Structure formats: structure tokens, C-alpha cells
Structure 1
Amino acid sequence: MTDVMNTQLWTAVENFYRRETLLLQDRRYREWLELMDGSISYRVPVTTSSLNGLESSEDELGYYDEDFELLKARVAKLESKQSWVEQPPSRLRYFIQVVDVTHQDDGLIIARSNLLLLQYRWNMEQQFSGGRTDLLMPREDGGSFLLRNRRVVLDRQALGNQGLSVFF
């Protein structure tokens, strides 16, 4: 892949993340779901410590282990008055830094990014930092991408007691 193509791909991925970030910060979750492929796997495994550093395992329990239908159900609950954990709604700020973009032979793109999410509610702040590995699929209409797979490894082991009501 040429340098120009690499730059164009990098820019396209950054634009995708910029749009996703704005949708999440504005709590436009239905529109956010439109960025997902119908076969999405959305995982946030529990992070543990070992002598080798932070680890997570696909076989372990996760904070999120969702497919498209479960993501839709989460969105429906967040939009309802039944979501006590988001009453009042949080103020969210996402900071995403793309660190690597790789174009695969099958046309899919692997994008790795760093994440910092600040959540403010009831005059309390909760911070989430970690790394994301995404599998992006170019849209058939030549537009941006669809998110086919997301795996988020958080740096924190314990998430506190406020309830987890955010998407990464």
C-alpha cells in the first residue's frame, strides 16, 4: 500500500471515530447503532493483573459481551425512563487516539486506538482508559465503515460502584 493510500485510510478511520465519538457524547445511540454491522461482536473483558502485566481473556467474564441485538436492547433501556443509572444523564467526553491501521487482504481493516472516557454525573467523575481493537468493514455504498468487531481492554481492574452505563 502506498503512503498516499495509507494516509487516506488513516484519515477515513479517524473520521469514522470522530463521527462515532460525537454520536456517543450526544447520546444519539440509535444513530450510533447504524455504524454497526449486523454480526458485530462487542466485548469488554474483565482485566486482571499478573506478573507479566495487565491481561484479559476471551474465555473470562466480561463487562460487555454483546451482539447487535443486545446492543439494541441496551440502547432501548438507556432511552427509557427505566434506566435509573442514567438519571440524570451523564456528561461524557471521549478522547480517541488512533495508533495503528492495517488493511487486510480480505478488505477488512484492523484499527487500534487508545481511549480515554470521562463520565460526569452527580458531581462525580469516573475515568476509563484503555485500548481498543476494532475490525472495520468498508460500506458497500462506498461510504465510511461498519464496525464488525470491537474489543476494549480497560486499564482499571475495578470499575467502582456507579454502574456501567457507557459504551466504549
Structure 2
Amino acid sequence: MWALGFILFTVTLPQPAGDQRTDAVVVLTGGAGRIERGLDALKRGWSERLLVSGVDRSVKPYEFAIQYRVRPRRMACCVTLGYQAMDTQSNALETAEWLRRERVESVRLVTSDWHMRRAKLELDRMAPAGVMIIADAVPTRPSLGALLREYNKYLARSLASALRPQ
């Protein structure tokens, strides 16, 4: 069962979302192309606001703006840097709090393809009721080891969620 599940997990990695519009986009830091994908969704008008969750505390907003070529007006109105998260669970918590505060009803979740299932599982669990979450995976070429680790983490979190009293 485990091996069959792993094969299915590997060959059906989530894909990028289309041009569906959402109130906001959330990027979980930690992988190449994630922030660029989130900023592109903002630029294309697919979302109006962006939260980048898990930003290193040493990164200043102006440094972020320079590195990713975000205009000051766009930074001021539309980009929030989240410094609280350090792992996937705390990404979900930071995101859920931001969604509540911003009264977001639909969100585009951006992370790597191999990480999307667990990230969405955590966010589904913590997000305010009724928030629609669109998975927007960034395609990668993960190693076998990375896939094995992620699959085991996903199974563990899925089991923990299933066993948690409602």
C-alpha cells in the first residue's frame, strides 16, 4: 500500500493553476520560482493582494522590493511579508491569521509541486471556514529522496488530521 501510494503521489504531482481569479495569493517561501509565481499572479491581475509567508526576519521590505523588482507603490498596497512562519504548519497558521484579518474569501496557494499536498492540507485545516483555496504548484524536479521525505511527512500529517477530534 505504501509503495503504491508513493508511486501515485509521485506521478500525480499538483500542477500550476490557470488564470482563475482569487482575492489574494499566498506564497510559502523555500523553493525556487515560488515568489516569482506569486508576483506574476499579482501582475496579471489574478489576485489583488499577496502574502509571502516565512520570510527571513533579516529581509527588509525594501530589499525584497529590489530583489524581486517590485515597485514601491505595489509593495505598499499589495504585498505583505510574513515573518512568523518557520515550517509548513506555521505557514498555515500565519496564512490563516492573515486571511481572517484581510477578510479573504478565496486564495491562490503557491508552493512547489512536491510540497503542495501537505501545504494545502495544513491550510485547509486552519483557514477560516468557507475560504476557497486554489492550489497553484510551481513545477520542479525533486530528487527521489525529497519525494520520499515529503510523502512520509504528508502521510503523517494526514493521519494526525484524521485522528484529531473535530
Give the TM interval when normalised to the shorter protein.
under 0.3
Q: TM-score, normalised by structure 1?
A: 0.27
In the superposition, the TM-score normalised over structure 2's length comes to 0.27
**Greater fraction strand:** 1
Asked which structure has the greater RCO (Cα within 8 Å, sep 6+), the reply is 2
> Greater helix share, 1 or 2?
2
